């Protein structure tokens, strides 16, 4: 005799569980397949690792003092900030550039903490290009 939790009930429970997992994963980072792809998507329009674009080169940014790449024209506010780009400083910068350094020339926000962590991790892997 089948219990009230027969094959159909178990199959339905399995489907419900899988649907729940799919929904919980949908709420997680929609990060592309790699940190490089995320960097390219979120930062690459204005930045490169090895050359200045609209923004300064970011290879070697981790541990560098803000506004210190000689080949790039930074805002006075960023040059005067004396920020050293650490995990915490980069996280605060990517969260809200204007809040960290008012009157800087970069206006971007990476609202997702997991994306900020991935971008920072990627930058740490590229000391200079």
At 8 the pLDDT is: 52
Tokens read off for 117: 């962590």
Question: What's the CA gap between 93 and 97, in Å, rounded?
Answer: 5
Could you tell me the pTM of the whole model?
A: 0.73
pLDDT for res 19: 42
pLDDT for residue 10 is more than 60: no
Confidence (pLDDT) at 86: 98
Backbone angles phi, psi at 71, to 5 degrees: -80, -5
- The span from the CA of 116 to the CA of 125, in Å, is 14
Residue range 97-112: mean pLDDT, rounded: 95
pLDDT band at 128 (very low <50, low <70, confident <90, very high): confident
Percent of the chain's residues with pLDDT above 70: 74
């Amino acid at each position: 005799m089948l219990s009230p939790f027969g094959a159909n009930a178990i199959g339905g429970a399995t489907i419900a569980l899988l649907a729940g997992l799919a929904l919980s994963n949908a709420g997680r980072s929609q990060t592309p397949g790699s940190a490089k792809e995320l960097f390219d998507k979120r930062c690459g329009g204005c930045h490169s690792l090895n050359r200045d674009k609209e923004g300064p080169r970011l290879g070697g940014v981790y541990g560098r003092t803000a506004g210190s790449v000689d080949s790039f024209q930074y805002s006075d506010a960023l040059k005067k900030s004396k920020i050293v780009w650490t995990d915490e400083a980069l996280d605060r910068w990517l969260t809200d550039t204007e809040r960290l350094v008012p009157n800087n020339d970069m206006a971007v926000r990476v609202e997702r903490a997991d994306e900020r962590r991935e971008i920072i991790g990627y930058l740490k892997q590229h000391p200079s290009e």
